[in-house]
Amino acid sequence: MATALDDIDRSILVLLQDDGRATIADLARAVGLSSAATHARVRRLERDGLVRGYVALVDRERAGFDLLCFVSVSLQLHRPSLVASFPRRVAAMPEVLECHHVTGEYDYLLKVVVRGRSELERFIVDRLTPIPGVAKVQTSLVLREVKATTALPLAPAGPGGPAAPAPTGGSR
């Protein structure tokens, strides 16, 4: 269920998405509130679950993860036990950055990162295909990442206003 946000809440969230290390004083200056009022809003956004946490975004290639892949998986049978167990199994695999239950030809779409081809082969052959119920796996290698962001388009809603504020930092 969506939480009601006003323009100041949206502005704070946009700023935090751009720089999670922004201080309350920086946020307060940017949105035109006192530090106390801004702090209260940030705490409410955290308490309500809109801000789930703060992280460092690590450059995967500089960290040695040269292959980014999308792996589509079909299950043999759609028994509730298999549909329930597959996500639990892949959630425990550190190579899987994201797992989505999807519609269409495949049942799940995984975003996977590995250091190279041999690591990808071990992941698919030794870890993914032995999961009970896996019937078909198709892997697509990313040639070039065109856009990758963690930021939601939360621009303040105003008549004739811009769709999104211009970010001040780099892409994510």
* pLDDT, tens only, 14-52: 999 999 999 999 999 999 999 999 999 999 999 999 999
Per-domain residue ranges for the chain? 7-47, 67-141
132-170: pLDDT as tens digits: 999 999 999 999 999 999 999 997 666 544 344 444 444
CA angle 44/39/56 to nearest 5° reads 85
The secondary element (H helix, E strand) that includes residue 24 is helix 24-31
Give the tokens for residue 50.
Answer: 């809109």
Check pLDDT > 80 for residue 107: yes
What average pLDDT does the structure give for the chain? 91
Q: Check: CB of residue 136 under 8 Å from CB of residue 74.
A: yes
Please tell me the predicted confidence (pLDDT) of residue 10: 96
Q: Rounded to an integer, what distance in angstroms lies between the CA atom of residue 108 and that of residue 99?
A: 7
Tell me if domain 7-47 and domain 67-141 are identical in fold. Answer: no
The secondary element (H helix, E strand) that includes residue 139 is strand 134-141
Correct CATH for 67-141 of 3.30.565.10, 1.10.645.10, 3.60.15.10, 3.30.70.920: 3.30.70.920
Q: Rounded to an integer, what distance in angstroms lies between the CA atom of residue 66 and that of residue 44?
A: 39
pTM for the full model?
0.84
Burial of 139 (0-12, 13-18, 19+ CB in 10 A): middle
Q: Rounded to an integer, what distance in angstroms lies between the CA atom of residue 142 and that of residue 14?
A: 28
62-79: pLDDT as tens digits: 999 999 999 999 999 777
Q: Rounded to an integer, what distance in angstroms lies between the CA atom of residue 172 and that of residue 167?
A: 11
What topology does CATH give the domain 7-47?
Arc Repressor Mutant, subunit A (1.10.10)
The sign of the torsion formed by the CA atoms of 144, 147, 149, 152 equals negative
